[in-house]
Structure 1
Amino acid sequence: MELQRTLKLWHIVVIGLGYMAPMAVFDTYGIVSEETGGHVPAAYALTLLAILFTASSYGKMVRVYPTAGSAYAYARNTIHPYAGFLVGWAALLDYLFLPMINALLTGIYLSAVFPEIPAWIWIVGFVLFITALNLLKVKITASVNTFLVLFQIVVVILFAALAVKGLMNGQGVGEVFTAQPFYAPDMSIPALLVGASILCFAFLGFDAVSTLTEETVDPEKNTPRAIILVAMIGGLLFMTASYFTQSLFPDVSVFEDPEGASPEIALFIGGKVFQLVFLSAALSSTLASGLVSLTSVTRLLYAMGRDSYLPRKFFGYVHPKTGTPVYNVLFIGCISLIALKLDLVTATSFINFGALIAFTFVNLSVIIHYIFKKKQRSFGDYMRYLVAPLIGAGFVAYIWTHLDRHSMTLGLIWTAVGVVYLIYLVAVAKRDVKKIQMDDSGN
């Protein structure tokens, strides 16, 4: 039994946006505003411009390998099976911990409203909810995610409307339309790049889209479109929300806690009622992100299980009625309960390393496949298949220099475990993984 192609373009666009969590813009606002000297929208614009080169590389590789697995499949078939395994293994680190992070955030949000209820109840309830939905057909998961994402977008629009009202009443900079958040004579490009290195992980939704390629109708056309649409729509939402936030709060020193300013922002702009609506949208953000991140990781595990890097009977199994990898869903649901023993700082330190590995190898895969294997070497080909991926890889290289030390350390340890496991497969279990190759159609 294989995965079923049932998702349309709008399904995977909304799934990608759910992964990106539009409300996250308010959680990082205080930190990035301090780093950029009050130019968060400019940092988002720069991040979007840079990340589009890598998003374009994903789109190019999807057309070649329209299959589950994303960066794992591209590196495996383009560079080397072992390289593919290690890319997939590294990406698993991010995917495994993102549902946990969302579970922890849900516990924090709801405990603030209902302090008499233990946080562990919210965490367990969250994990059971996203696990149960993922056991159903993927279109059902997509439909629930659509509602959660649309609610977040409505709240962002409401926030913008309230911000306009406040600016017209003389709050903040006192101007509805001002270039200040995007440009100022004393604006520092290095500071913007530091901000971009923080914000780039807000755009991971297009990677989640690519993991669902094998369940997408006409993936060679729809998945590349969705990847670009997710990046563009998400970027527009982020820039709009941060523009009005920056206009209202040009100086983050007014916040008691700049690193967790979102409740103060909501209270200031709309009072207690809007703060409650804002909290509901933040909760829907964690639900949507947790829901689709669990979907994504189960598809990556399925691809690696089908290729026998992981036990095939378990990880490569698809339920004949629902068309979902149910064993993987239950496995990740159990793993996500580790959140009961983690704190948010520890959990977040595990992510980002795998995303950068994936970004790097997808850009390299484009160059190797089109320039070296297919020998497409006209001037236009060089611009599309060499220069553009190199720009994407260059931005990723810059982010590597700003990666949190704990993320780097834990990522390298995780990679070392993967290397040992790969050696076991090849040298001890005598698994000839080189023979398990897919053709260009993904079959």
Structure 2
Amino acid sequence: MNKESATLKRSLKLWQIVLMGIGYMTPMVVFDTFGIASETTGGHVPTAYILALIAMLLTAESYRKMIQIFPNAGSAYTYTQRTINRHIGFLVGWCALMDYLFLPMVNALIFEIYLSAFFPNIPAWIWVVVFVAFITLLNLRSVDFTANSNTFLVFFQVAIVVLFIAEACKALLNGAGTGKIISLQPFLSEGMDPSLLISGATLLCFSYLGFDAVAMLSEETEHPKRTIPRAMFLTALIGGILFIVASYFIQSVFPSAADFHDPEASSPEIAMMIGGTIFQTIFLAGGIAGTLSSGMSSHASVSRLLYAMGRDNLLPKKFFGYIHPKFRTPSFNVILVGVISLTAMFFNLATATSFINFGALIAFTFVNLSVISYYVFQKRMHKTVKGFFNYILMPSIGAVVIGLLWFNLEKNSLILGLCWAAAGFLYLIYITKGFKVNPMTVDFTQNEEVKTF
């Protein structure tokens, strides 16, 4: 296959897609965020995870409806430009780049923190280079190779969660925490404040980021209209179950945030108090596996988003729309993301993390709005009771839930996000010559087959 005819290869199966999404979400993150979540919820983290899961499943349902119509790489960017407005679609994709571009950087920084703690005499920047080089090389290979490598890392993390649960059960039987393996206390208690649960759910929603990223792999998936919606639902559901079960046992052993010296760094304390130094080392290995799996999946996703925007001629097509003829991957984009990730050497974790949330919320918001725009205003499929429920009520509830997250978005994320969006708007003015020229090469006038749900 020559470079002119090279396309993305449809080879991924359902289980590979699900594990890529779970790898993006990082199962071990439940331990890292538990302390601050317990403090926020007043000791009811599992309930907050349940509320967050409901919010994500509502948005996953909107993704499902859009993927059935547009089974292409690009996710929220593609849906918005095809249902609402081309220019708004570009800006949604531009903002989503924040989420996807900065997550590999965040993982590189976390990897650096882990390894620097063990090897303090080695310059920290070396660990960033090692991480980025490894992830980039894996993503340059075929998408199957990337998915299979990610599978091992996800199962390793799940194994550590299972090991923790076993150790937690032993501690509970010995009288630690609630002293009961089965108890409602982590979920409900007298005098529980619902507002704290909502705040906790807002915080923990960001643990679910990644279930949406699998939509970027639509053009590399067998039967995408059927497989990708299932994969998104299963990714959110399985990830949610992992978070809920793990947080239940952590909360049972540590009923209050006061049990931690530093709630913002709860993972090492949990490991030490449950199983000592050896278990803490195992937790460290799991944390490293988590950064690798999340870094691998996020790197793959952002390179596909850049490919979609390049193919549409919104970014220089010869570079961003290129597919390697042998590996069938957007290799130039993969390398570019690797180069950008190296700038993690000049960021701190707080700054890099603050970029992520804005882009994710933009994507979630416009996916819900795209459902309403397409099915209601374009296809007029809302006039029955079923249509009203599917195409107005459900996406509206999803949008309202995401609105609550917007309301709780930290100030730095909002400021940095708006600056990034402004830069994208200026670039859009440039490539459209003041909105007088349409640079896009995709035909939006084709009639898509619409299914009812």
The reply to whether TM is greater than 0.5 is: yes
1:435 Cα deviation after fit? 6.0
Alignment partner, residue 372 of structure 2: 367
- Give SS of 2:12's match: coil
Alignment partner, residue 266 of structure 1: 271
Question: 245, 249, 270: which one pairs with 2:250?
Answer: 245
Alignment partner, residue 126 of structure 1: 131
Moved more, 277-286 or 252-261: 252-261
Distance in 2, Cα, partners of 1:62 & 1:18: 21
1:50 Cα deviation after fit? 1.5
Q: Is the 8 A contact 1:72 1:88 kept in 2?
A: yes
Structure 1 segment 416-431 matched on structure 2, within 5 A: 416-427=422-433, 431=437
Alignment partner, residue 21 of structure 2: 16
1:271 Cα deviation after fit? 1.3
Alignment partner, residue 386 of structure 1: 392
Distance in 2, Cα, partners of 1:45 & 1:419: 37
Q: Do residues 220 (structure 1) and 255 (structure 2) align? A: no
Question: 238, 245, 261: which one pairs with 1:233?
Answer: 238
1:368 Cα deviation after fit? 1.2
Q: Is the 8 A contact 2:314 2:440 kept in 1?
A: no
Distance in 2, Cα, partners of 1:125 & 1:253: 37
Alignment partner, residue 199 of structure 2: 194
Distance in 1, Cα, partners of 2:304 & 2:261: 42
Q: Do residues 54 (structure 1) and 59 (structure 2) align? A: yes
Q: Is the 8 A contact 1:66 1:441 kept in 2?
A: no
Q: Is the 8 A contact 2:13 2:221 kept in 1?
A: yes
Distance in 2, Cα, partners of 1:288 & 1:184: 36
**Which residue identity lines up with residue 283 of structure 1 in the other structure?**
I
**Which residue identity lines up with residue 378 of structure 1 in the other structure?**
T
Distance in 1, Cα, partners of 2:397 & 2:181: 35
**C-alpha offsets along residues 387-418 of structure 1, whole Å, 9 cap, x if unaligned?**
11111100100110100100000000000111
**Which residue identity lines up with residue 380 of structure 2 in the other structure?**
K
1:433 Cα deviation after fit? 3.5
**C-alpha offsets along residues 223-262 of structure 1, whole Å, 9 cap, x if unaligned?**
0000000000000000011000000001222222110010
Alignment partner, residue 184 of structure 2: 179
Distance in 1, Cα, partners of 2:40 & 2:190: 17
Distance in 2, Cα, partners of 1:414 & 1:303: 20
**Aligned-residue CA RMSD (Å):** 1.3
**Which residue identity lines up with residue 134 of structure 2 in the other structure?**
F
Distance in 2, Cα, partners of 1:142 & 1:109: 24
1:436 Cα deviation after fit? 2.9
**Which residue identity lines up with residue 176 of structure 2 in the other structure?**
Q
1:293 Cα deviation after fit? 0.4
Q: Which blocks of at least 5 consecutive residues in structure 1 are unaligned?
A: none
Question: 292, 306, 318: which one pairs with 1:301?
Answer: 306
Change (3 A) 1:15 1:432: same
- Give SS of 1:140's match: helix
- Give SS of 2:107's match: helix
- Give SS of 2:241's match: helix
Alignment partner, residue 406 of structure 1: 412
Alignment partner, residue 206 of structure 1: 211
Structure 1 segment 13-162 matched on structure 2, within 5 A: 13-162=18-167
1:431 Cα deviation after fit? 4.0
Alignment partner, residue 261 of structure 2: 256
1:185 Cα deviation after fit? 2.5
Distance in 2, Cα, partners of 1:195 & 1:251: 14
Distance in 2, Cα, partners of 1:356 & 1:252: 28
Alignment partner, residue 3 of structure 2: none
Distance in 2, Cα, partners of 1:341 & 1:249: 36
**Which residue identity lines up with residue 437 of structure 1 in the other structure?**
D
**Which residue identity lines up with residue 271 of structure 2 in the other structure?**
A
Alignment partner, residue 280 of structure 1: 285
1:263 Cα deviation after fit? 0.4
Change (3 A) 1:440 1:147: farther
Alignment partner, residue 325 of structure 1: 330
Q: Is the 8 A contact 2:62 2:367 kept in 1?
A: yes
1:204 Cα deviation after fit? 1.5
- Give SS of 1:185's match: coil
Distance in 2, Cα, partners of 1:21 & 1:394: 26
Distance in 2, Cα, partners of 1:316 & 1:353: 26
Distance in 2, Cα, partners of 1:273 & 1:208: 34
- Give SS of 1:184's match: coil
Distance in 1, Cα, partners of 2:91 & 2:98: 11
Q: Which blocks of at least 5 consecutive residues in structure 2 are unaligned?
A: 1-5
**Which residue identity lines up with residue 387 of structure 1 in the other structure?**
L
Distance in 1, Cα, partners of 2:54 & 2:356: 23
**C-alpha offsets along residues 278-334 of structure 1, whole Å, 9 cap, x if unaligned?**
110010000000111010000000000000000000000001111100000111100
Distance in 2, Cα, partners of 1:318 & 1:436: 17
Q: Do residues 3 (structure 1) and 8 (structure 2) align? A: yes
**C-alpha offsets along residues 330-353 of structure 1, whole Å, 9 cap, x if unaligned?**
111000000011111111111110
Distance in 1, Cα, partners of 2:161 & 2:316: 44
Q: Is the 8 A contact 2:311 2:441 kept in 1?
A: no
- Give SS of 1:256's match: coil
Q: Is the 8 A contact 1:64 1:440 kept in 2?
A: no
Q: Do residues 396 (structure 1) and 379 (structure 2) align? A: no
Q: Is the 8 A contact 1:7 1:215 kept in 2?
A: yes
Distance in 2, Cα, partners of 1:6 & 1:130: 21
Distance in 1, Cα, partners of 2:253 & 2:314: 52
Distance in 1, Cα, partners of 2:233 & 2:435: 41
- Give SS of 1:174's match: coil
Q: Is the 8 A contact 1:77 1:437 kept in 2?
A: no
1:428 Cα deviation after fit? 6.0
Q: Is the 8 A contact 2:312 2:441 kept in 1?
A: no
**Which residue identity lines up with residue 171 of structure 1 in the other structure?**
A
Distance in 2, Cα, partners of 1:378 & 1:77: 24
Q: Is the 8 A contact 2:313 2:441 kept in 1?
A: no
Alignment partner, residue 354 of structure 1: 359
**Which residue identity lines up with residue 412 of structure 1 in the other structure?**
L
1:430 Cα deviation after fit? 6.0
Alignment partner, residue 168 of structure 1: 173
